[in-house]
Structure 1
Amino acid sequence: MSRFGKWLRAAFVVAAVGPLGGCALAGVASGPPPSLYVLKAPAPDEMRTAGPVAAQIVVEDFVAPAAIDTTRIVFQPNENEIAYYAGARWSDRAPRMISSLLVETLAGTGNFPAIIGPGSNVRMDYALVGDIRSFAATRDETAGLGQGTTKVKVAFYVRLLRARDRSIVASREFSSEAAAPGAGMANVVAAYDAALGAVLAEIAGWTLERSLAAGAGS
C-alpha cells in the first residue's frame, strides 16, 4: 500500500473512532444531577432553656468517620455495612452542616451574647466540640411481614471546653431516633430533620445550663 493510501486509512479510523469517543463521554456526563437536601434548626419554642448567660461560644466542626464525613446520605442496612441513597445528597458535608445548624440553634435561644462557627479569631469563652457517632437511616423490621419502616438515628458525643486552655467543663452523649412518616426520599429527610432537631435542642439547653454552672470566662 502506498504512503498516501496508509494516510487515508488512518484518517478513516480516526474519523470513525472520534464520534464513538464523544458518545461515550456524553453518556458518562448525561445522568441526572443528584437532588440536594437541607436540614433545619429547631425553632426557639422547641427548646427549653434557662436564663441568659454571659458566655460566648464557638462551635467547632464536628468530627465524623470517613463514611459520614461526606455529602452522601447514609443508609445502614446493618451494624457492619454502610450504603448511600442513590441520587440524593446533603447540600454540604454532614459534619459542617451539623455544626452550622448548632450555631443557628444556639443563636436562636437568644441567651448567648455571641455564637460563632470555626475559623474566627474572636476571643470566646467556651468551645463546643463533638464526635458524630451515628447519623444514618436504618430499616426497622420489627413489624415483620415486610412492613418495616425506615428510621433515623442521630448520636453525638459533645464536650464543652474552656477556650483559653481547652480544659473540659462538661461532656455528654446525645441521641434521638425518628421514624420516616412514609416512603420516599422526602420522608427519609423528614426523619433526619426530626431526629437531628431533637438532639440540637437538647444540646442547646445543656450548653446553657453548663455555662451558667461554670461561670462565663471563669
Structure 2
Amino acid sequence: MAVIGFGKFCRAAGLLLALAPLGGCALANVASEPPPSLYVLTAAAPVVPEGAAAAAAQVVVEPFTAPAAIDTTRIVFQPSPNEIKYYAGARWSDRAPRMIAALTVETLHRTGRFPAAIGAGSGARMDLALTGDIRQFAAMRSAAQGFGAATTEAHVVFFVRLLRASDRAIVASREFTATVPSASGKMTDIVAAYDAALGQVLAEIALWTLDEGAKAFPKRPS
C-alpha cells in the first residue's frame, strides 16, 4: 500500500511540475501583452462667412446616439457593408459618442458666435439642444477603380437635430456626411483620415447651427 501511495504521489508531483512552467509562461504572456495605443481626434476650426449673424441662443450639445458597434472606444473597420471589425491594438481615448460630443462643443466655441455652448449635464438653462444619430463612423475599403488598388477611407455620417430646449420641438434637422481617403494603411494615417472627415462634418454642423440658431433666436439690436 505504501508503494502504491508513493507512486500516486510521484505521478501527481510530476504532473504539477510539468504544469508549472506552462502556468508561468501563460502569466508571463498576459503580463507582457502590450497596452493598446490610444488616439484622439481634434476639433474643427470653422470658417465663419463674413457678415454672418451671431446667434443669441445658448446651445447644449447632447451625446449623439449610436449603434452598439460604434458606442465603444474601439476603432471600427468595415471590410464590407454587412461586416464590422475593429483594429487590433488601437483605441479611441473615450467612447465615440462622448468624444464626438466634446469636440462638437469645442467646434461651436471656435466660431466665436455663440453666447454659450456647453455639454449635457451642467444643469444650466439653455435655449437650444443639439442632438442626433451617428449613422456611420468607420473606416471602409473604397471600390477599386480600374487597375487601381482599393484604399481605406474614413466615412462619417451624422443625422443632426436642433431642438428648442423649452419644449423639445424640432427647429431644424439635416444629414451631414464626409469621406476622406487614408494616405496609407498605417494606423496613424487612418486616424488622420478619421480626423479630417469628422472635422469637416463638425465644421458644417457648427455653421448650420449658427444659421438655424440665429433664425430661431434672432439677436436683438443693441
Q: Same fold (TM over 0.5)?
A: yes
Residue 24 (structure 1) shift: 1.3
Kindly tell me: are residues 103 and 76 of structure 1, through their superposed partners in 2, closer, same or farther at Cα, counting changes over 3 Å? same
- Tell me which of 88, 92, 95 is aligned to 1:86: 88
| Matched position secondary structure for 2:71 | coil
Residue 173 (structure 1) shift: 0.5
> Residue 122 of structure 2 aligns with which residue?
120
| Aligned positions of 1:169-180 closer than 5 A | 169-180=171-182
- Tell me which of 55, 64, 89 is aligned to 1:62: 64
Q: Compare CA radii of gyration and give the structure with the larger one.
A: 2
Residue 10 (structure 1) shift: 4.7
Residue 212 (structure 1) shift: 0.8
Residue 143 (structure 1) shift: 2.1
Structure 1 runs (4+) deviating above 6 angstroms are: none
Tell me the amino acid that sits aligned with residue 152 of structure 1.
Answer: A
Tell me the amino acid that sits aligned with residue 134 of structure 1.
Answer: Q
Measure the CA separation in 1 of the matches of 2:43 and 2:130.
Answer: 17
Measure the CA separation in 1 of the matches of 2:48 and 2:74.
Answer: 29
Measure the CA separation in 2 of the matches of 1:16 and 1:149.
Answer: 49
Tell me the amino acid that sits aligned with residue 175 of structure 1.
Answer: T
Tell me the amino acid that sits aligned with residue 194 of structure 1.
Answer: A
CA offsets per residue over residues 2-45 of structure 1, 9 Å max, x none? 4984667655644543442232132234222211111111124x
Query: Alpha carbon RMSD of aligned pairs, Å?
Result: 2.2
Percent of residue pairs identical: 63
Tell me the amino acid that sits aligned with residue 57 of structure 1.
Answer: V
Q: May I ask how many residue pairs the two structures share in their alignment?
A: 216
Residue 99 (structure 1) shift: 0.7
Residue 154 (structure 1) shift: 0.5
Conserved? CA contact 1:47–1:202, under 8 Å: no
Tell me the amino acid that sits aligned with residue 75 of structure 1.
Answer: F
Conserved? CA contact 1:141–1:148, under 8 Å: yes
Residue 141 (structure 1) shift: 2.8
- Tell me which of 110, 132, 149 is aligned to 1:108: 110
Measure the CA separation in 2 of the matches of 1:96 and 1:13.
Answer: 51
Measure the CA separation in 1 of the matches of 2:217 and 2:94.
Answer: 34
Q: Tell me, yes or no, if structure 1 residue 140 matches structure 2 residue 142.
A: yes
Measure the CA separation in 2 of the matches of 1:63 and 1:212.
Answer: 26
Conserved? CA contact 1:125–1:216, under 8 Å: no
> Residue 170 of structure 2 aligns with which residue?
168
Residue 169 (structure 1) shift: 0.7
Residue 147 (structure 1) shift: 1.6
Higher deviation after alignment, 176-185 or 21-30: 21-30
Conserved? CA contact 1:47–1:204, under 8 Å: no
Residue 139 (structure 1) shift: 1.0
CA offsets per residue over residues 36-91 of structure 1, 9 Å max, x none? 111111124x4547222221111011110011111111111111111111211111
TM-score, normalised to structure 1, is 0.90
Conserved? CA contact 1:107–1:115, under 8 Å: yes
Conserved? CA contact 1:58–1:117, under 8 Å: yes
| Matched position secondary structure for 1:143 | coil
Measure the CA separation in 1 of the matches of 2:16 and 2:158.
Answer: 57
